[in-house]
Every structure is written in C-alpha cells, then in structure tokens.
C-alpha cells in the first residue's frame, strides 16, 4: 500500500522550515552553513525575489528541494538546476525523496524548463540511484568517459 506524500511549494512564511532543513543538510555533510537566523532571512529573500523555488515534502516538513532557473542559449526554454534535495535521515527510504524529485521536475516543466541538471557526490549511492531511476544520466558513465571536474572558490 502506497501512501500519498504531500509536496508543496514553499512561501515566505515557510522560510524557517526551509532554513532548518538546509541547515540540517549542510550540518550532516559537514559543509559550511550560516547561523539559522541568517539562513532564514536569505531563504525568505530568495522566495520574495523569485531567485529560488523551494518545495517541501511531508508534514514536518521532512524534506526540501531548491530549484533555480536560467535562460538557455542552446535550448529553446529554460534550464533548471536542482541545487539541493534533502530528506531527514530518519525518513529516508519511504518515498519522500522520489515524491519530492517528481514534484521538482513537474515544477520545472510548468515554469518552461526543457532541461534539468544536478550534482551529487560519488559516494551518495542512494541519491544517484534515485536520480537514475527517474531518467537522469551521469555523463561520466563508462570506461572511456572523461571525468568532470567542478571548481569552486570564494570571491
């Protein structure tokens, strides 16, 4: 028996929940994260200025996705970038991530996106399995495929 999973678009009023989940995500993976009040205000501004679209899953809410859009030069439509997708550890494996990712793809399509990209680490087999099960392709797949490097730096 499959239970219905609730996914909804976050509003400015949800900034605290979005920030809490993103804070938990970054803390879990030992990544830098600003203090919760600072992150909450940044999330609120992103929603207000339509810089990001956040989707929430579950009653808690128990998971979050951050989606960003950009105009494409090569394609006739927008490109969507799934910047973050997170489900609370205790609730993983219960279909929340799949429901969230399916809702993200529908949100992207409804906004005119024709392409979506995302990134994950090599050792996150669960995330890679989810993405691949919904049709995402790893461009570095295969023995002759080049490795893609991602460079970052603070400015």
> Distance (Å, rounded) from C-alpha 118 to C-alpha 2?
27
- The residue with tokens 């603070």 is 154
Is the Cβ–Cβ distance between 56 and 10 less than 8 Å?
yes
Tokens read off for 128: 């890679």
pLDDT given for residue 78 in this prediction: 96
Whether 100 and 87 have beta carbons less than 8 Å apart is answered as: yes
Give residue 153's pLDDT: 63
For 99-147, what is each residue's pLDDT tens digit? Answer: 999 999 999 999 999 999 998 887 888 998 999 899 988 866 656 666 6
> Tokens 């429901």 appear where?
99
When the pLDDT of each residue in the chain is averaged and rounded to a whole number, the result is 91
pLDDT-derived band at 2, boundaries 50, 70, 90: very low
């Amino acid at each position: 028996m499959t239970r219905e999973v609730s996914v909804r678009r976050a509003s400015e009023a949800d900034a605290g929940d979005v920030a809490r989940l993103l804070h938990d995500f970054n803390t879990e993976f030992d990544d830098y994260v600003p203090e919760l009040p600072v992150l909450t205000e940044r999330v609120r501004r992103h929603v207000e200025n339509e810089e990001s679209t956040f989707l929430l899953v579950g009653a808690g809410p128990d998971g979050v996705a951050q989606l960003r859009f950009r105009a494409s030069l090569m394609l006739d439509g927008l490109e969507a970038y799934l910047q973050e997708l997170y489900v609370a550890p205790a609730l993983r494996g219960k279909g929340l991530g799949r429901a969230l990712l399916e809702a993200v793809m529908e949100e992207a399509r409804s906004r005119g996106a024709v392409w979506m990209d995302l990134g994950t680490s090599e050792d996150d087999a669960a995330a890679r399995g989810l993405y691949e099960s919904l049709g995402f392709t790893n461009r570095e797949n295969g023995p002759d495929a080049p490795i893609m490097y991602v460079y970052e730096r603070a400015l």
